[in-house]
Amino acid sequence: MKLKHLILSLALVFPFSLSAQEIALQLYSLRNEMKVDPVKYHKMIAEWGISALEGGGNYGMSEAEYQKLLKDNKLRIVGVGADYNKLKSDPAGIVSEAKKYGAKYATCYWIPHAEGPITMDEIKAATELFNKTGEMLAKEGITLTYHPHGYEFAQTGSGSPMDYMLQNAKNFQFNMDVYWVKMGGGDPLAIMKKYPGKFPQLHLKDRKIGTPGSPDGRGDVETNVVLGTGDIDIAGLIQEAKKQGTKYLVIEDESSRSVAQIPQSIAFIQSQLKK
């Protein structure tokens, strides 16, 4: 009976971490709110039942103050950013940032390039950099991931730049933002099925029905809608994530309605994880 009570208590404290997939939140979703009251919104995240965060930065607090805020709300940073230029000049700094929080993932969110689609030469250079630095980070227990942003899907005679990167990623993996893949003309579920095991993280973000695509990684953030209500097969992606053992299902809602929408998106993911 005591064991039963213990299990029940753990389920109440950690409601989203009992399956292989854990629901996480990209703190960029609350970028405007955090400027106003980071204490309030970190507490709110905990009340939503989320403990895993992608973030970095202390919101004006000292290191000790921010670490205490995380601890007080049973929150932890599981992924930090890995700026492209910093990967070139100071990968050790990225390792240090990740280790400060105990994060096991570092994500590059953008490859610098001229406005518009990226060229194959630029994607080849990025792939070489990610393989090189990914090997260095792996020795420190950190997985480097790349976050596609929609500019990687211009078709060439031998496929798209995204195909090249997926086929040649040896020492890094992917944090696929399904919204931006869709915006760029890619099919996130088909990509996941074609390249299984390369997606330890997914950025789950749904797109308002009727939204036009974009080849340059730009778009109207107000087209981010509650998961399961847009034109992306979020349910199918969650089921594939379960098959492949994707670790983090990361909610990123860039819209001005994120505070209202995130709890609804959490409920949708949880309903799919139970299937």
Q: What does the DSSP assignment read for 93-148?
A: HHHHHHHHHT--EEEE-----SSSSPPHHHHHHHHHHHHHHHHHHHTTT-EEEE--
d(CA 126, CA 147): 12
Q: What is the pLDDT of residue 132?
A: 98
Residue 93 lies in a domain: yes
| pTM: predicted TM-score of the whole model, two decimal places | 0.92
Residue 189 lies in a domain: yes
Q: What are the two backbone dihedrals, phi and then psi, of residue 133, each rounded to the nearest 5 degrees?
A: -75, -30
Residue 272 lies in a domain: no
Number of domains into which the chain is organized:
1
233 closest CA partner among 257, 209, 215: 209
Residue 170 lies in a domain: yes
**pLDDT tens digits, residue range 160-183?**
999 999 999 999 999 999 999 999
Residue 214 lies in a domain: yes
Give me the helix-helix angle, 258-273 and 234-244, nearest 10°: 50
Residue 50 lies in a domain: yes
Residue 136 lies in a domain: yes
114 closest CA partner among 258, 253, 215: 215
d(CA 199, CA 249): 10
Q: Which residue ranges in the chain fall short of pLDDT 50?
A: 1-18
Residue 173 lies in a domain: yes
Q: What is the pLDDT of residue 101?
A: 96
Q: What is the pLDDT of residue 14?
A: 44
Which residue range(s) make up the domain with 60? 19-258
- CATH number of the domain to which 165 belongs: 3.20.20.150
